[in-house]
Amino acid sequence: MGKTALIVDDSPTMRQMVAFTLTNAGFTVVQAEHGKDAVNKVSVGPKMDIVVTDLNMPEMDGITLIKELRKMASFKFTPILMLTTESAIEKKQAGKEAGATGWIVKPFNPELLLKTIAKVLPA
């Protein structure tokens, strides 16, 4: 596909698993540890086709990150998926208000993750 994905999660294991799933599906993957790291990386890095972010993170949480990204011209319409646990589902609303495109519930099924990405990823 040649698409680039940004994965933001403070858990390296989780990040690697998402990266693994996406890399196998042909994505180029950029990883960030938390919101601040992500903002730093996208400000100098390539354009992203999709962002998958955790919500609970140190430094800058996912909701703030989504708001920050939506402020940038290059991320205005980029699909952003929240990777969230069931209990954090009330955060769905806050995420949507911040500009999140959709969500994936943790623990995730790799096929469902790819399906969900396909759902929001512009051709």
Partner 1 sequence: MSNDFAQFQAAFFEEAAEHLAVVEEGLLELEQHPEDLDLLNKIFRSAHSIKGTSGMFGFNAVAQFTHKMETLLDLLRNGQKAVSPPIADLLLKSTDCLKTLIESVKTGAPVDDAAVQRLTSELASASAAGAPQPPASELTTAIDPAQSGDLTKTYVITWTPPNWLFQRGLDPLQTMKELRGLGELTKVTLDVSRLPHLTDIDPEQCYLAWELQLRTEKDSKIVEAVFEFVREDSQLSIQQVSAKEADKGVQSQSVSTATPMPTSEMDGPKPIGQILVEGGVVSSSALDHALAQQKRVGEILVEQKAVTPQQLEQALQKQRQQESGAHAKKADTASIRVDTAKIDKLINLVGELVITQSMLSDLGARFEMSQLHVLLERVAQLERNTREIQERVMSIRMLPIGTAFSRFPRLVRDLAAKAGKKIQLVMTGEETELDKTVIESIGDPLTHLIRNSADHGLELPEERLDNNKPEMGTIKLNAFHEGGSICITVEDDGRGLNRDKILAKAIRQGLISENDKLSDEQIWSLIFKPGFSTAEKVTDVSGRGVGMDVVKRNIEGLGGTVSIKTTLGKGATFTLKLPLTLAIIEGMTVRVGRETYIVPLLSILESIQPKEGSVKTVVGKGELINVRGTYLPMARLYEVFALEPEHKLATKAILLILETEGERVAVMVDEILGQQQVVIKSMEQNFRKVEGIAGATILGDGTVGFILDVRGLIEIARQETAMAA
Q: Which residues of this chain interact with partner 1, rule CB under 8 A?
A: 10-14, 16-17, 20-21, 54, 56-58, 70, 76-80, 85-87, 89, 96, 99-103, 106-112, 115, 119-123
Q: Which is nearer to partner 1, 36 or 70 (CB)?
A: 70
The distance of closest approach from Cβ of residue 3 to partner 1 in the complex, given in angstroms and rounded to an integer, is 14
Q: Which is nearer to partner 1, 39 or 101 (CB)?
A: 101
Q: Which is nearer to partner 1, 39 or 113 (CB)?
A: 113
The span from the CA of 97 to the CA of 113, in Å, is 22
The distance of closest approach from Cβ of residue 68 to partner 1 in the complex, given in angstroms and rounded to an integer, is 14
The distance of closest approach from Cβ of residue 43 to partner 1 in the complex, given in angstroms and rounded to an integer, is 19
Indicate the DSSP class of residue 108. -
DSSP string for 66-95: HHHHHHSGGGSS--EEEEEEGGGGGHHHHH
The distance of closest approach from Cβ of residue 91 to partner 1 in the complex, given in angstroms and rounded to an integer, is 12
Determine how β-strand 28-32 pairs with β-strand 50-54.
Answer: unpaired
Instruction: Report the SS3 class of residue 6.
Output: strand
Q: Which is nearer to partner 1, 46 or 93 (CB)?
A: 93
Cα angle 47, 59, 118 (rounded to 5 degrees) comes to: 35
